[in-house]
Structure 1
């Protein structure tokens, strides 16, 4: 499993990517899908997930739908129209950042 410090800056794009590829997702489903895809290398805690989801909802990137399951309520998140533009920007920024990191880690460092 990767350290929380290493994954912290990538949680928002990961969450947006997963939700954008689904019609809608609920919180626990997101955490389990990340665990499944990464074979347990990335574990998103509820304490990290829900503040991000709430911020994305407040920013108009996500909208929610409440579904009643017996006595429980499940809150599904889905991407808004304006959220789709934000995902493209965030994905482009993350891909550029990864390319920049590769410049550092895949090259020999120059001695001055």
Structure 2
């Protein structure tokens, strides 16, 4: 991955967006989906993902369902109604950021 710092500020938005697209997901599933979508460009670590999930849960944006599968216990995360609203807000905020960065950076290169 080129720059993890650019992604760190978007981690919450990434998680919310994925949970908005999928009814519920467990942590490892989220890491694998991010890896798949970004073609291995971005790899979420457990050390980054789980604190973010716990923070979202504490804020009332996620519901957690614990399911026992064989000898394993999995926590499935799902958006609450407030989480769905926050997803819309975060995506709008991110779109505005991207639009402003494009205007500031202006990707038109000039060879002179």
**TM > 0.5 fold call:** yes
The gaps in structure 2 that reach 5 residues or longer are none
How many pairs does the alignment contain? 108
The gaps in structure 1 that reach 5 residues or longer are none
1:3 offset after TM fit, Å? 2.1
The structure 1 segments of at least 4 consecutive aligned residues displaced by more than 2 Å after TM superposition are none
Task: Show CA shifts across 1:57-95 (max 9, x none).
Answer: 000000100110112100000000111111111111011
CA distance in structure 2 between the partners assigned to 1:87 and 1:6 by the alignment: 19
CA distance in structure 1 between the partners assigned to 2:13 and 2:44 by the alignment: 13
1:2 offset after TM fit, Å? 2.9
The corresponding residue for 1:70 is 70
CA distance in structure 2 between the partners assigned to 1:36 and 1:107 by the alignment: 27
The corresponding residue for 2:29 is 29
Q: TM-score, normalised by structure 2?
A: 0.92
The alignment's C-alpha RMSD in Å is 1.2
CA distance in structure 1 between the partners assigned to 2:107 and 2:5 by the alignment: 24
The corresponding residue for 2:8 is 8
Q: TM-score, normalised by structure 1?
A: 0.92
Match of 2:40, SS state, is coil
